[in-house]
Chain A
Amino acid sequence: MTVLVFLIPAALFLALLGLGAFIWTVKSGQYDDLEGAKWRIFLGDDEDDNIPGG
């Protein structure tokens, strides 16, 4: 059972990484415009893009 000494901290560390990543996405404002995000996939970065219905 001594393996738990490594496994538990390892599992918790990985989970904390996930939590940290989520907190980063919140803080960097990635949830501030949920409406716009779903439409922006239609906008290409290139100049002559075809906007549907634009």
Chain B
Amino acid sequence: MSVAKIDDRGCPTMGGPTAMHGAGADPSAFVIEDDGVAHLDLLVRGARCAGCIGKIEGGVNAIPGVVSSALNLSTGKLSVDWAMGGTDPALITRTVSDLGYQVSPYDPGEAQSERDHQGRFLLLCMAVSGFAAMNIMLFSVSVWAGFSGEMQDSTRSLFHWVSALIALPAAAFAGQPFFRPAFASLRKAKANMDVPISLAVLLALAVSLYETMVGGQDTYFDAAVMLLFFLLIGRWLDHRLRGQTRLAARELLALQATSANLLQSDGAVKAVQAREIEPGDMLILWPGDRAPVDGLIVEGASDVDMALVSGESAPELVGAGQSIRAGMVNLTDKLVLRASARTEDSLLADLTRLVEAGETARGRFVKLADKAAQAYVPIVHSLAALSFAGWLLAGAGMHQAVLIAAAVLIITCPCALGLAAPAVQIVAVGRLFKRGVLVKAGDALERLAIVDTVLLDKTGTLTQGKPYLLNAAQIAPEDLQLAALLARSSRHPLSRAIADLAGPGPVAPDAKETPGCGVEGVIDGVRVRLGRADWAGAPKGEDETSGLWLVIEGKAPLHFAFEDALRPDAAQLVAGLKARGLAVQMLSGDREIPAKAAAAQAGIDAISFGLTPQEKIRRVEALVAEGKQVLMIGDGLNDAPALAAANVSISPASAADASQAAADMVLQSAALVPVLAAIDLSKAARGRILQNFLLAAGYNVLAVPLAVFGMVTPMIAAIAMSASSIVVTLNALRPFLRKNTL
């Protein structure tokens, strides 16, 4: 939706007209005041490099009155402080959006709770267990080195006590991320991966503490804590992978945290938060504003971007007495609106709820690692129990049997399993980012690898999503420049197409736009009109309804014909998908003729047209119910629920905010072919994860018999455990595909 230009690195550049929505919104309702200092959190989209940080912070700091501004590039949050009354908050958003970035206010309540507490806690646990593991190892290595008798029993006992002193508090703290879920799942009478982990750690600590107290030889303090350390690395990687998903959820919320211009009874206009709007409130909607709630137009007439409902970018003319829905964008003229619903009852909120419902359903996807755990946990537990019983039956003492059962649990503990998937996924996500695909959830790669059906949206996905001048060759450059003088004053998509083609330049000073008709002005003493055929005064002909007419007084009318062109690599994408054995279908909200024409050009045989957003979801759900693994690629706000309902979804860089939030992956450039790279890489990653599971299983096949037959010493346990984790991590880092295959 953004009109700002994007450079080859994916950063917005200056010069384009300001982003359509949000630019006019007044964020003053979201300012927090504290002790004379005003604070505002803004969500900035599109910032991704040093130049962006420099431009945004530099631009905002240059506003008189601003004390400080800090942009967090990972979350896109821009925090600005200024002395109360020192500056107008609307100036800050305008500054950022004039730089070419989309900006919207953060809801203060959300901004407070958004801090990543869990990530910090995992990092702390990792640090504590790492510290403990290294220091205990210091003592363990000394004990093992003195095994041949150089070390006196009293020294060994001292070392064991010191180890216990470090290990017990460290495990009590760093084990929390495992103990809590394990306890919770046991209460539900289910066993997840956390149960054997907790059991192994607790049993190893208990056995070691007992050994220490009776002056025994072998303790497993080092193994227990090192286990936690390796597993926490896996957890932390996994958490970072899911960070992008949390970000998406916040962006959806930010979309709703818009402000509105409330027209008070005394005629004054006040900026309020959208969620404070009550039915019956009068609102002013300036050109470029997004309607915050559903409402009825009481005054004015304007072209309105209906993309939210139909997915098509051709605007519609609305006037007094007609109703518009939340999320529609006003394009040409001021509208006065009477709110007919609160934000939570409006269309935008309905879409958000549909998206959330889809995401909940997707949460039921069983990850490869969880599948492995389901098979693994019962085997491990019965093995440990069997060796305990076996040794008791064979005449061993209680003490020895418990020691061996603990060794089995430690040796089989799924360190390598815990690292196998996240290590591969974090590498794959990094590779894909370099190829222009932002992956928002690690398990999205697993879901993409098994896709068999691909659904494509037409407008904005297969096509450019904006009109393109067909007969540019037949229009003289001076006529184009003349038309651009008028077109630059308008937000209508066809005017924008002419203005983009003509490049930057002046605007006719007295250009006046008539909603639904066109723009007129007097240029060099001659009246010029650019607009619909019947309004501009062009002769009635076959193509009077399509395109624009430029009518210069005293000259022959000139026709500008437009078409929404296919993206250059759309056919290549479809051919690539078919070559990979995937079924390809097109779902379009557009009419039959343009839909069929686009499908024929792209090489798609199965098409549906004239679909509403609800029908699109039903199509997706029907296919999912048939057992198909559906990939949905779409861009419009109306596609967002369908994107969330599909097994996995991708949206192009130009997609609406809500669609990018609902999609699992977002393309970072205008090209579509990175989708093929994503599919190939996800398959390679899935293969690598399975390979890692095999490595972990192979290690167990070797080590478990040793443990069951009581041949594992603490030293062997420590070496085997670190070796398997390192092997799995190195395997993940190995190049995925030969360089020339993608």
A15–B123 touching, CB < 8 Å: no
| Docked-complex contact A19 and B74, CB < 8 angstroms | no
Task: Return chain A residues, CB-CB under 8 Å to B116.
Answer: 32
Alpha-carbon separation in the docked complex, A34 to B75 (Å): 10
Q: How far is the CA of A45 from the CA of B49 in the complex (A)?
A: 17
- Inter-chain CA distance A34–B243, complex, in Å, is 12
A10 lies within 8 A of chain B by Cβ: no
Contact check: which of B49, B73, B131 meets A33 at CB < 8 Å? B73
Interface residues of A in 10-53 (CB under 8 A from B): 11-12, 15-16, 18-19, 22-23, 26-27, 31-36, 39-43, 49, 51-53
Known contacts: A22-B127, A23-B124, A23-B127. The answer to whether A1 contacts B51 by CB under 8 A is no
Chain A residues with CB under 8 Å of B9's CB are 53
A34 → chain B closest CB, angstroms: 6
B15-36, CB under 8 A of A: which get 1 and which 0? Answer: 0000000000000000000000
Give A40 to B72 CA distance when docked, in angstroms.
11
A32-B74, A33-B73, A33-B75 given as contacts; is B53 within 8 A of A40 (CB)?
yes
Docked pose: A18 CA to B134 CA in angstroms: 12
CB distance from B575 to the nearest CB of A (A): 35
Q: Which of B50, B120, B131, B166 has the most CB of A within 10 A?
A: B50
- Take A11-B135, A18-B131 as given contacts and tell me if A33 and B51 are in contact as well, using a CB distance cutoff of 8 Å: no
Contact A26 B124 (CB under 8 A): yes
Q: How many interface contacts (CB-CB < 8 Å) are there between A and B? A: 68
Q: How far is the CA of A34 from the CA of B73 in the complex (A)?
A: 8
How many residues of chain B have a CB within 8 Å of chain A? 26
Chain A, interface residues (CB within 8 Å), range: 20 to 34
Least CB distance, A28 to chain B, in whole angstroms: 11
> Is residue B730 within 8 Å, beta carbon to beta carbon, of the partner chain?
no
Across the interface, which residues of A come within 8 angstroms of B51, CB to CB? 51-54
B113-157: which have CB < 8 Å to A? 116, 120, 123-124, 127-128, 131, 134-135, 138, 155
When chains A and B are docked, how far (Å) is the Cα of A23 from the Cα of B51? 31
Q: B158 at interface (Cβ–Cβ under 8 A)?
A: yes
Tell me if A36 and B72 are in contact (CB < 8 A): yes
Indicate if B162 sits at the interface (CB-CB under 8 A). yes
Q: Does B74 lie within 8 Å of A33, measured CB to CB?
A: yes
Please indicate the chain A residues that have their CB under 8 angstroms from the CB of B591 in the complex. none
* B378 close to chain A: CB less than 8 A: no
Contacts of B53 in A (CB 8 A): 36, 39-40, 43
Which of A19, A40, A51 sits near B127, CB closer than 8 Å? A19
**Residue of B whose beta carbon sits closest to that of A34:** B74
Query: A residues near B, CB below 8 A?
Result: 1, 4, 8, 11-12, 15-16, 18-19, 22-23, 26-27, 31-36, 39-43, 49, 51-54
Pairs across A and B, CB under 8 Å, 20 listed: A12-B166, A15-B131, A16-B131, A22-B127, A31-B123, A34-B74, A35-B73, A35-B74, A36-B71, A36-B72, A39-B73, A40-B50, A41-B50, A43-B54, A51-B50, A52-B50, A52-B51, A53-B9, A53-B51, A54-B55
Q: Please report B residues at the A interface, Cβ cutoff 8 Å.
A: 9, 49-51, 53-55, 71-75, 116, 120, 123-124, 127-128, 131, 134-135, 138, 155, 158, 162, 166
The 4 closest A-B pairs by CB, nearest first: A36-B73, A54-B51, A42-B50, A39-B50
